[in-house]
Chains A and B, each alone.
Chain A
């Protein structure tokens, strides 16, 4: 018996090991992961939890920056330190124990504090795909934020204190081709049928067909026939309100075969056509989000440094304005529907071929653009263009803000903070607490409540009032939150760090693979009530 070649890529050891995740981000997503380098600043409990969920799925490599020695306290919150490591370099031990998780991953460490490293070797960071920082104080955070912003390297800042968690992602720009929307309408072009589709639909003389065949015509056929007929009487408009859609449904219904007793036969394909009136009979337009991307400066004004994403965007824009007659390239996929095999496959091929025709035009345009810009024409392959065209209705572009700007009262979004603080259901109050906490640590060099000194409550309150004052916000209505932060005394709870660790790792994976839409840009987790909230700073 002929077996598939044992070395076919799908049976390789790696594809077996990573099988469950390859089903999500595909082999190309995995390749992106395997080519990336992650830097972790501070191997805290939270820090190693983040790296754990990056090492397991197989990033290329990581480097830990940490100048601390392992303490007994560390052992209670950090799984990647062991009893024998007390007193040793934390960066070293965490690197060793994390590397045990996956032999495909390379790991390295720098036994130096981030403050020192920033001072001694600011070029250190330039080769990382993403930098992740935990337990970072303001003095290190602000220069790091500026540095990575200028380098165009994404920065993820994570904090875990008591029952509260915080994530902030900083990047200049992040583009997504495969956003993997949970659900989307099919791209059937019923309002603007392309020639091969019309030809196929016209080739059916449904009345002359036997019941068995009639009941196995893909629903696109009766739907488009009925729609064309309806439009003839309505100046080629599309049915837009309930009454008009109902008329169209009636037209479709009239096509159902009738039995000897004058009763309609049960024809599932016609039922599907009737249902599809709601979601498939819509004008094919460029969605607003995509229009914005096509009108973006980066798209219109390409330069020799433009990224492939923007060159592809420009090529698609040109397509929309010319051959596409106002529409994006055809997606080229057909949802499953009641039909016999041959007719379904024929229709599927018609959509696929049309999508390839569109992609071909876009690709030629892409090559022209690369040539004009003096860029290597191999930078964008035909496969890249096909993928881009297929997902062109779900592209996403995110423009970020610099964390350091939040520390400038003139630049921070003050109205969002004050609105949030006044809303009792909003978790904004924890953002304010964490900022107050940062200020406290800068001023006093320890965590509020770390030694149980109740004076810390007053001092923390003063830090927070000062901040609110700088922002022009009113004071907090109650002191509960200050007391809660004091109670924590800087304590980190492992399960809170583990929750955030998973979240931060996943956001890093999104940034690295360019798939799925990332958190934009600040996330607060309140484990007391099990609620979360996202803010855009």
Chain B
């Protein structure tokens, strides 16, 4: 059924199917993009040429695939590394009970392709990091329906790294791939349009993501007051000590959850702390974010509308950030997020890491990269160049190198030969590219 012949046949078979969209695209209106030229060619481009990449086939992804397919897009790729779980079924409407355990991307793609003839969704049961520039370059627009900030930052970094500039420093527009990003949490959500290199990117607005709630270790160990403190104690202290199943905690394994539930209940009883429930235990272990069908539908639809505007130029795109909240009535607020002049990901200014002096230990330098609001890295690996040769400071991701470089964490920058102005190369999962920082000492030791 993949031959162009059969696709044509289907369109000829149901010629009136796209009449609604046709009306909008084949007539100009007073609120069109100033350069809009109404013609049948626009829908033709949407249906036959325009390639869209949807990242995530979960709550937002399922909605996005349906929305895009019914807005006329027929060449859609979808990436998702996850499999279907029972708790997805309250909102991820392309999945059924029989699909549990299967690839989200594959099941979602099959469903759309069979419901909407002519639409060709290509699934990728992968991580986004499995693909390189050549893969991402084939798309006209990328839409993200992700729950992970790290993955958003990575694709943001990828699209930025694909930009090229003319000799006069002007951006080569043909290398720009717009990114449309949605996010939800309970009854709140946001949709945004990013023109990489031109408007605020994901890293420009890192401060919009609230830091994850953490409890001080001393509270957890010595003065627990909340049920969450008891659960964290079992998770962080009792589990590694007793190692009941000889493995790390798997939040999806009910035996693990049961064990943590019981131990947390014991600890709570010991301190007379009320409020341990199985649901709370699961929530804390898996860091569960509440989700409903309606918010996902709303945010995905807002994103799909922007994809349609961007692909057709029939309207000016959202500029550039919309927040949504329907806890109390229905509230939205649209504003223009600003590009950050010294953004880690999209600015071309040299990145300067300002620190006290070279008495700082390497571990402390890594802590700064992880904890500072503008960096928020996860697990950075650091190298530097000494006399033209690469020198590994610390690489956590490869076991043998980690073991060999672990000692360096306790050494000061001065021990490691780093000086004011030295450059360090930082690789982290939040960006596909290695970032170069120059060290700047506020004082001398």
> Are A and B subunits of one complex?
yes
Show the binding face of A for B, using Cβ within 8 Å. 1-4, 8, 10-11, 13, 15-24, 45, 49, 52-53, 56-58, 71-73, 75-79, 82-83, 100-103, 162-163, 167, 179-182, 216, 336-337, 339-342, 344-345, 348, 449, 452, 480-481, 483-484, 487-499, 501-503, 505-507, 509, 516-520, 523, 527-532, 534
Q: How far is the CA of A503 from the CA of B298 in the complex (A)?
A: 7
* Beta-carbon nearest neighbor of A340 in chain B: B223
* Beta-carbon nearest neighbor of A508 in chain B: B294
Contact (Cβ within 8 A) B87 A20: yes
In the complex where A79-B66, A506-B326, A534-B330 touch, is A23 in contact with B23 (Cβ < 8 A)? no
Q: B89: CB under 8 A from chain A? A: yes
* Beta-carbon nearest neighbor of A27 in chain B: B279
Given contacts A79-B116, A487-B28, A493-B24, 5 further A-B contacts (CB under 8 A): A4-B262, A17-B89, A20-B289, A101-B93, A483-B30
Q: B358: CB under 8 A from chain A? A: no
Which residues from B are CB-within-8-Å of A529? 334
Contact (Cβ within 8 A) B24 A16: no
Q: List 8 A-B contacts (CB under 8 A).
A: A4-B258, A10-B277, A72-B17, A76-B17, A344-B225, A484-B31, A493-B20, A505-B294
Contact (Cβ within 8 A) A523 B330: yes
* Beta-carbon nearest neighbor of A499 in chain B: B301
* Beta-carbon nearest neighbor of B295 in chain A: A502
Contact (Cβ within 8 A) A345 B297: no
Q: How far is the CA of A58 from the CA of B222 in the complex (A)?
A: 43
- Per the 8 Å Cβ criterion, residues 245-292 of B in contact with A are 254, 258-259, 261-262, 271-274, 277-279, 282-283, 288-292
What 1/0 flags go to B308-337 for Cβ under 8 Å of A?
100000011010001000111111101000
Which residues from A are CB-within-8-Å of B30? 480-481, 483-484
Which residues from B are CB-within-8-Å of A11? 254, 278
Q: How far is the CA of A509 from the CA of B14 in the complex (A)?
A: 37
* Beta-carbon nearest neighbor of A510 in chain B: B326
Which residues from B are CB-within-8-Å of A163? 31, 305, 315
Contact (Cβ within 8 A) A495 B278: no
Q: B3: CB under 8 A from chain A? A: no
Q: How far is the CA of A344 from the CA of B272 in the complex (A)?
A: 10
The distance from the CB of B125 to the nearest CB of chain A, in whole angstroms, is 23
The distance from the CB of B340 to the nearest CB of chain A, in whole angstroms, is 22
* Beta-carbon nearest neighbor of B278 in chain A: A10
In the complex where A182-B327, A531-B332 touch, is A73 in contact with B20 (Cβ < 8 A)? yes
Which residues from B are CB-within-8-Å of A3? 258, 262
Which residues from B are CB-within-8-Å of A336? 225-226
Contact (Cβ within 8 A) B301 A495: yes
Which residues from A are CB-within-8-Å of B90? 17-21, 56-58
Contact (Cβ within 8 A) A72 B14: yes
Contact (Cβ within 8 A) B71 A534: no
Which residues from B are CB-within-8-Å of A20? 87, 90-91, 288-292
Q: B304: CB under 8 A from chain A? A: yes
Q: How far is the CA of A13 from the CA of B19 in the complex (A)?
A: 43
Which residues from A are CB-within-8-Å of B261? 4
The distance from the CB of A344 to the nearest CB of chain B, in whole angstroms, is 4
Which residues from B are CB-within-8-Å of A506? 187, 292, 294-295, 298, 326, 330
Which residues from A are CB-within-8-Å of B293? 52-53, 56-57, 502, 505
* Beta-carbon nearest neighbor of A74 in chain B: B17
Q: How far is the CA of A17 from the CA of B100 in the complex (A)?
A: 12
Top 7 A-B pairs, shortest CB-CB distance: A502-B297, A498-B301, A502-B298, A10-B278, A494-B70, A499-B301, A506-B294
Q: How far is the CA of A3 from the CA of B225 in the complex (A)?
A: 25
* Beta-carbon nearest neighbor of A22 in chain B: B279
The distance from the CB of A348 to the nearest CB of chain B, in whole angstroms, is 8
The distance from the CB of A4 to the nearest CB of chain B, in whole angstroms, is 6
Contact (Cβ within 8 A) A23 B290: yes
Which residues from A are CB-within-8-Å of B327? 180, 182, 516-517
In the complex where A77-B20, A83-B117, A529-B334 touch, is A23 in contact with B279 (Cβ < 8 A)? yes
Q: How far is the CA of A449 from the CA of B22 in the complex (A)?
A: 13
Q: B96: CB under 8 A from chain A? A: yes
Which residues from B are CB-within-8-Å of A23? 186, 279, 283, 288, 290
Q: B431: CB under 8 A from chain A? A: no
Q: How far is the CA of A499 from the CA of B21 in the complex (A)?
A: 17
Q: How far is the CA of A336 from the CA of B232 in the complex (A)?
A: 15
Contact (Cβ within 8 A) B328 A517: yes
Which residues from B are CB-within-8-Å of A489? 23, 27
The distance from the CB of B333 to the nearest CB of chain A, in whole angstroms, is 9
Q: B198: CB under 8 A from chain A? A: no
The distance from the CB of B33 to the nearest CB of chain A, in whole angstroms, is 10
| Residue from B29, B273, B305 within 8 A of A487 (CB atoms) | B29
Which residues from B are CB-within-8-Å of A497? 301
The distance from the CB of A352 to the nearest CB of chain B, in whole angstroms, is 8
Q: How far is the CA of A53 from the CA of B297 in the complex (A)?
A: 8
Q: B300: CB under 8 A from chain A? A: yes
Which residues from B are CB-within-8-Å of A58? 90
| Residue from B222, B225, B226, B334 within 8 A of A530 (CB atoms) | B334
Q: B302: CB under 8 A from chain A? A: yes
Which residues from A are CB-within-8-Å of B305? 163, 493, 495-496, 499, 527, 530
Which residues from B are CB-within-8-Å of A73? 16-17, 19-20
Which residues from B are CB-within-8-Å of A56? 89-91, 93, 293
